[in-house]
Structure 1
Amino acid sequence: MWRCALPPLLRYPTVDELGTRAAALVAGRPQDARLRRIGTSRAGTPLWLLSVGHGTRQALVVAGPHANEPVGGATALRLAERVLADPGLADGADATWNLLLCLDPDGLRRNEGWLPGPYTLGHYFRNFFRPGFLEQPEWLPDGADAVTLPETRALLDLQDELKPFFQCSLHGVDVGGGFVELTRDLPGLAGRLAHTAARLGIPRELGPYDTLYWPSLGPAVYRIPPPRRGDLAAAITEAAVESTWFHPHRHGTVTAVVEAPMWGVPAVEDGSSPDDPDDSLRTVSRVLRHDTRLLELLLGRIRPHLDDAPDVARLLAPVDDYLLVCPGLADAWDPDTSDPGRPLPPLHSAHLAALRIAGRRLALRTAGLLHQLVRNAGRDPAGALPDLDRLIDEWCADYRDGCGARWIPVGRQVEYQSRVVLAAFELAAGHPREDSPSGDRGRRTETAVPMPLE
């Protein structure tokens, strides 16, 4: 039985480490694994595709669509190890696994300030980067024919080449819980997700804010509605535009978006009825409006001094995105200002916890990017850094002490995400196995490819 010779991952891999580890896997099993470049990023970094198996049915796994969600690259490597160790996942399923190691390597490089740790909320948000919405390669806001990002074009071409029966997009939730979004129902997935989450101590997110208006297919599993035309704010907050999730559906593809949390919050799986949801919603909206005003004032102080600072446009784009959507979200969530033509669905306690986390996330991301803008400028004539440090510390403490956010070790994040992907793959392939590792019953595969959980 083949055993992986690679050392286990105890932290998130960098862009270069993803390529190096994938090349090592291919060197160990050249008859079963191939590595090829499918494109090049805007900065000239290769986009590597690791393919395992020789089946006629193609599965496509896309890691790293969001720059600040590095768990996907580690999961892609873990999946390659699993498939190489278990012939039933490739030849036995007549499948070839195609693993795109990172869709946005340029963005991932900008997160390398926090990737090695220490894994604290303050360190993460002060070094966090996620490009503006229009620079995120998963989206097609003007349709596939108008795509200009080379990363997006490479993925679209790959989808049309492979015509996958199953596609998986690997995402990370910085604070909250795990959940899955599907373009088509995979009956049985919710039960498998629940089993895996319980086994690994991962909270399931029963009411993510980005699925607030989406149909539920079971606890922590949601159906992605077809894309529709809308304004930029709706696109940013609701994934309401065309995307690479839907592009291959002309080929009969089912897409699963698998979210794995970095800091888990137990309250996001509380399905109980809240005592006064309207009062909680007013509080969340009031806090978001207050935080937004603070950040707008800080941006007004900082912006005049950024002319010569490096990466100003790249860092300001997401700041402007966040400050654009915050007022609209606060109004949409507030029962006193929400659109009567688009009422909120019935809410349980998990929804309210997720909305509280989401509002704070927008504020912390904005503050962290402003912090980087000032640091990159090398000077702080507006005296903004002490105020930003105070806000970041205060808001991180609210996550930690008010929400109970606790770090989930990288190995456990990867194990959770890989098992959920395998469960979705088996259901999409039409032959879930009783001894499947995704159902935590595959002792043989578990021992063949060890992964420390702590």
Structure 2
Amino acid sequence: MLRLAERALADPRLTEAADATWNLLLCLDPDGSRRNEGWLSGPYTLGRYFRNFFRPGFLEQPEWLPDGAAGAALPETRALLDVQDELRPFLQCSLHGVDVGGGFVELTHDLPGLDRRLARIAARLGIPRELGAYDALYWPGLGPAVYLIPPPRRAGLAAAITEAAVESTWFHPHRHGTVTAVVEAPMWGVAAVSDGSPPADRDAVLRSVSRALRRDTALLRQVLTRIRPHLAGVPDAARLLAPVDDYLLVCPGLADAWDPDTGDGAAHPLPLLSSAHLAALRISGRRLALRTAGLLHQLVRAAGRDPAGALPELDLLIDEWCADYRDGCGARWIPVARQAEYQARVVLSAFELAGRHPRAGSGPAEPGVGVRGGGADAAGMTP
């Protein structure tokens, strides 16, 4: 964010010459960012990160509008909607951090040429591109590592969490002609997410990933059952339990959807999968387990006692699963300066391309750019 501000101030081609104003929202979710302070100052290790990571439960994430804009309850969400309706920017960029994987972009409207620019930026900075992003598993592709966010639709909570099947602040300004770009940058890069080749044995990998997710979910449910009775009176226990319950809600359905032997894919079949897709699914399944284990770890620590004896077990699980990321997936730390530079360059590319193309939506967009950090997910992205 600071890099973008410095460049906009230093380069008149980004402001006066383009007849554009840059509006920077440093953090959409300051509470979520504060709750990540346990890992933000480093050292940057997977174990430290997951033991201190926090992302709110789905209903407390300010980007989503499960009850529509009129029903937005969070003050952060209402403030953002007001800003969007007041400024009506032609481009909105939301900066996100991917803990493990690669970089990619999600758009509400195509920006032709962004995929080629993204490829050059990623190559120069040594950032793997995520060619089969789990977030966009069922979404149309606009080019390698660039995906089209589908229009919102009504669905249950599980689909809203796993498929973004819900109204959002990404789509809200579409009526003003705004294009939204969600720019995802990895903290730990994995080269395998850039492998677009056909997999050697798709079904074997899917079976392994789905079975691991079922096994991990069962272990974590048992731990939660043991510690939940001891959480009465623990400060903020409900805030930590909300995302735990979300993760444990969606894991069984995801495992069934990925498993080629369950038959659950008939109603919602998987797309044609590359090796990159399979790597992303493996990472995503492990991410769900690690985030849940880390939140349970925080709950026990917050309680100040461990009558259920859960902490040693959680430490073993977190260490084992982090080792799988590091040794099994080849996850490697990307310095924060490179993460930030990657996001800045992608935003500047989107800005240039958005200025060349007709506006989306039905209303007139103003000559402004909105850039915002996402809070919990983007907490590590500002150098």
Superposed counterparts of 1:87-126, under 5 Å? 87-126=12-51
Q: Which residue does 2:329 correspond to in 1?
A: 403
- Mapped partners of 1:284, 1:423: distance in 2: 36
Deviation at 1:247, TM superposition (A): 0.4
Q: Which residue does 2:165 correspond to in 1?
A: 240
- Mapped partners of 2:230, 2:269: distance in 1: 42
- Mapped partners of 2:248, 2:93: distance in 1: 30
Instruction: State the SS of the aligned residue for 1:388.
Output: helix
| Pairing 1:162–2:87 present | yes
- Mapped partners of 1:361, 1:256: distance in 2: 24
| Pairing 1:376–2:302 present | yes
Deviation at 1:189, TM superposition (A): 0.2
Instruction: State the SS of the aligned residue for 2:17.
Output: helix
Q: Of the candidates 168, 190, 193, which is equivalent to residue 115 of structure 2?
A: 190
Instruction: State the SS of the aligned residue for 1:114.
Output: helix
- Mapped partners of 1:184, 1:416: distance in 2: 21
Superposed counterparts of 1:416-435, under 5 Å? 416-430=342-356
Q: Which residue does 1:447 correspond to in 2?
A: none
Superposed counterparts of 1:52-71, under 5 Å? none
- Mapped partners of 2:136, 2:175: distance in 1: 24
Deviation at 1:341, TM superposition (A): 2.3
Question: What is the identity, as a one-letter code, of the residue corresponding to 1:227?
Answer: P
Contact 2:141 2:147 in 1 (8 A): yes
Larger RCO of the pair (alpha carbons < 8 Å, separation 6+): 2
Instruction: State the SS of the aligned residue for 1:356.
Output: helix
Q: Which residue does 2:68 correspond to in 1?
A: 143
Question: What is the identity, as a one-letter code, of the residue corresponding to 1:170?
Answer: L
TM-score by length of 2: 0.92
Query: What are the superposed Cα offsets for residues 256-309 of structure 1, whole Å, 9 maximum, x if unpaired?
Result: 000000000000000111111011101100000000000000000000111021
- Mapped partners of 2:198, 2:265: distance in 1: 23
Q: Which residue does 2:97 correspond to in 1?
A: 172
Q: Which residue does 1:350 correspond to in 2?
A: 276
Q: Which residue does 2:207 correspond to in 1?
A: 282
Question: What is the identity, as a one-letter code, of the residue corresponding to 2:39?
Answer: W
Q: Which residue does 2:316 correspond to in 1?
A: 390
| Pairing 1:213–2:138 present | yes
Deviation at 1:339, TM superposition (A): 2.7
Question: What is the identity, as a one-letter code, of the residue corresponding to 2:112?
Answer: P
Superposed counterparts of 1:121-136, under 5 Å? 121-136=46-61
Contact 2:258 2:265 in 1 (8 A): no
Q: Which residue does 1:320 correspond to in 2?
A: 245
Question: What is the identity, as a one-letter code, of the residue corresponding to 2:242?
Answer: A
Deviation at 1:237, TM superposition (A): 0.7
How many equivalent residue pairs?
357
Deviation at 1:336, TM superposition (A): 1.4
Q: Which residue does 2:371 correspond to in 1?
A: none
Q: Of the candidates 111, 129, 148, which is equivalent to residue 223 of structure 1?
A: 148
Instruction: State the SS of the aligned residue for 1:113.
Output: helix
Query: What are the superposed Cα offsets for residues 89-140 of structure 1, whole Å, 9 maximum, x if unpaired?
Result: 0111000000101000011001011101000000000011110000000000
- Mapped partners of 2:222, 2:59: distance in 1: 25
After TM superposition, what 4+ stretches of structure 1 lie above 2 angstroms from structure 2? none
- Mapped partners of 1:345, 1:302: distance in 2: 39
- CA RMSD for the aligned pairs? 0.9
Question: What is the identity, as a one-letter code, of the residue corresponding to 1:89?
Answer: L
| Pairing 1:310–2:235 present | yes
- Mapped partners of 1:228, 1:310: distance in 2: 36
Instruction: State the SS of the aligned residue for 1:125.
Output: helix
Q: Which residue does 2:370 correspond to in 1?
A: none
Q: Structure 2: any 5+ residue segments left out of the alignment?
A: 358-382
Instruction: State the SS of the aligned residue for 2:181.
Output: strand
Question: What is the identity, as a one-letter code, of the residue corresponding to 2:249?
Answer: L
Instruction: State the SS of the aligned residue for 1:93.
Output: coil
- Mapped partners of 2:169, 2:3: distance in 1: 23
Q: Which residue does 2:267 correspond to in 1?
A: 341
